[in-house]
Amino acid sequence: MALTQQAAAELHIFFFPFMSPGHLIPMVDIARLIATHGIKVSIATTPHNISRFKSMLLRDNSSTANYNHINLYELQFPFTAANLPENCENLDCLPTRQLSYNFSKATMMLQPQADHLVRLHSPDAIVSDFNLPWTAQIAAKYGIPRLAFYGTCCFSISISVAMAISSHANTISSDTEPFLVPEFFNKHVEAESKTYGVVANSFYELEQEYVDYYEKIAGKKVWPVGPVSLFNTKTIDITERGNKASIEKDKILTWLDSRRPNDVLYVCFGSISVFAKSQILEIGLGLEASKRPFIWVIRDNIANQDGVLPDGFEERVKNRGLIIKGWAPQVLILNHSAVGGFMTHCGWNSVLESVTAGVPLITWPLFGEQFYNENFVVNRLGIGVGIGVETGLAWGEEEEIGALVKWDRVVETVNRLMGGGEAVEEMRERVSQLGELARSAVAKGGSSVVNIGRLVEDLLSLKNEKLMNRQNIGAMRNHE
């Protein structure tokens, strides 16, 4: 749906992303995508989080046609008031999960700064992560629509809303929402009631019935505008998306180029997942015993601890295993022809990036909606095999829980996916077809591009309606 440059220029949208990689990365991509339509876009977050994507925005500003430069506004993170170590501005920076409550408290304390920005710049809409419920109060205060971003699929949010309705939203457990605590839950329910609609990093063809179902039960519009990872077409943007990679891209590509198609298993559990040391040992032993080539990404603050990896492991697997300690350019890796499987925690970004690359999954959910995502992948889409976990890991209790999956089950599941066979080939065909649909969705005339146009037209309509109401009120007062 085409928009005139004049119409687009009339809008100003403010983005408030949550400070966690799985939420920050796609939300910044959505902001960048909308800016390419000539719309004025602003992003408000903390200095450390701005540093993670600022260079990418500078490249956009210098090279993208019809791109409306994105304004960046800093929110000072209240470390001292929330009893947090300095510079812990992102969930992946916390030295211990015991500080998750403090982090949530700090994000709630950002409201006055955000309120000041909105009052000063008078945007026409707010796009907010659902983990920042106070944006609903700001939006209501200034009479502008609030759009929510959940960071997951419509299948998962549909289940969450349906369960909340059926249980009257009386309770919430730490297992289901890891960085929210009960005293904040009422604020989220209230924010949900005041939200105009949902912007989703998904595409309509992937989960059509769940987009429609959510709109029906929640009574709110949904605009699937993804997969937003496909907005990144330059190698440098793909490599640096979210953070600086801990390994040179040429080293990764050279290693992958030496492997056969679909021969490599990529193993990554996201940027905030934590395992017990005993579980990491079991994963390592399983990968070694599988005899399959693999890339294994381990968070640097974990990988560098003594006794985490099996003794002599790195030396024994050096000819078929690449271990990345820190941040990995995931999209770059998944899109290489040598990668034939992805062992994942089922974070939605990882699932969608795997679908987009046409790579089937081994699902190993750890907490929250990741179990819903696994259900969607394995039972609805039929593009993955489960490792067999049935319960989540309570935050901060990983060491006490220990290893839920032993090395022999790792071997069995890896060989099941990577060993081929008719069932696996059918799975590869299905995910390949979904990848083609994903690319079509973001191409000219595709469903996600159309949805961006619809979103902007809706916001323009709301803005014009607001202006007309003001004019009518003014006319009535003059008449009096």
Whether 240 is in a domain gets the answer no
pLDDT at 386 over 80: yes
Whether 161 is in a domain gets the answer yes
Whether 424 is in a domain gets the answer yes
Query: Are residues 83 and 161 located together in one domain of the fold?
Result: yes
Asked, as a colleague might, if the bond just before 227 is cis with ω within 30 of 0, I would say yes
Give kind and range of the element (H or E) at residue 200.
Answer: strand 197-200
Structural domain span for residue 252: 245-440
Whether 60 is in a domain gets the answer yes
Whether 166 is in a domain gets the answer yes
Query: Are residues 181 and 128 located together in one domain of the fold?
Result: yes
Give me 95's structure tokens.
Answer: 């030295």
Query: Are residues 123 and 32 located together in one domain of the fold?
Result: yes
Whether 358 is in a domain gets the answer yes
Query: Are residues 296 and 410 located together in one domain of the fold?
Result: yes
| pLDDT per residue as tens digits for the range 282-309 | 999 999 999 999 999 998 767 666 678 8
d(CA 274, CA 399): 9
Query: Are residues 155 and 299 located together in one domain of the fold?
Result: no
Reported as a pLDDT band with limits 50, 70 and 90, residue 170 is very low
Query: Are residues 223 and 317 located together in one domain of the fold?
Result: no
> DSSP labels for 426-470?
HHHHHHHHHHHHHHHHTSTT-HHHHHHHHHHHHHHHHHHHHHHHH
| pLDDT per residue as tens digits for the range 96-128 | 888 989 999 999 999 999 999 999 999 999 999
| pLDDT per residue as tens digits for the range 221-260 | 999 999 999 999 888 888 888 887 788 899 999 999 999 9
pLDDT at 176 over 60: no
pLDDT at 351 over 90: yes
Query: Are residues 448 and 436 located together in one domain of the fold?
Result: no
**CATH value at residue 289:** 3.40.50.2000
Reported as a pLDDT band with limits 50, 70 and 90, residue 263 is very high
Whether 115 is in a domain gets the answer yes
Give me 86's structure tokens.
Answer: 């300095």
Query: Are residues 349 and 265 located together in one domain of the fold?
Result: yes
d(CA 418, CA 476): 72
Reported as a pLDDT band with limits 50, 70 and 90, residue 65 is low
Query: Are residues 283 and 345 located together in one domain of the fold?
Result: yes
Query: Are residues 415 and 468 located together in one domain of the fold?
Result: no
- Residue 177 is predicted with a pLDDT of 45
Query: Are residues 173 and 318 located together in one domain of the fold?
Result: no
| pLDDT per residue as tens digits for the range 11-44 | 999 999 999 999 999 999 999 999 998 899 999 9
- Residue 167 is predicted with a pLDDT of 62
- Residue 23 is predicted with a pLDDT of 96
- Residue 191 is predicted with a pLDDT of 75
d(CA 224, CA 16): 18
Query: Are residues 221 and 251 located together in one domain of the fold?
Result: no
pLDDT at 142 over 90: yes
Reported as a pLDDT band with limits 50, 70 and 90, residue 2 is very low
How many secondary structure helices (H) and strands (E) does the chain include?
A: 21, 13
Count of structural domains, the chain: 2
Whether 100 is in a domain gets the answer yes
Looking at the chain, the whole-number percentage of residues with pLDDT higher than 90 is: 67
pLDDT at 449 over 80: yes
Q: Which of these ranges, 184-198, 338-352, 359-373, 465-479, has the smallest mean pLDDT?
A: 465-479
pLDDT at 431 over 90: yes
Exposure b/e, 223-246, CB count within 10 A at least 16 = b = bbbbbbbbbbeeeebbbbbbbebe
Which runs of consecutive H residues, i.e. helices, occur in 143-174? Answer: 154-167
pLDDT at 189 over 80: no
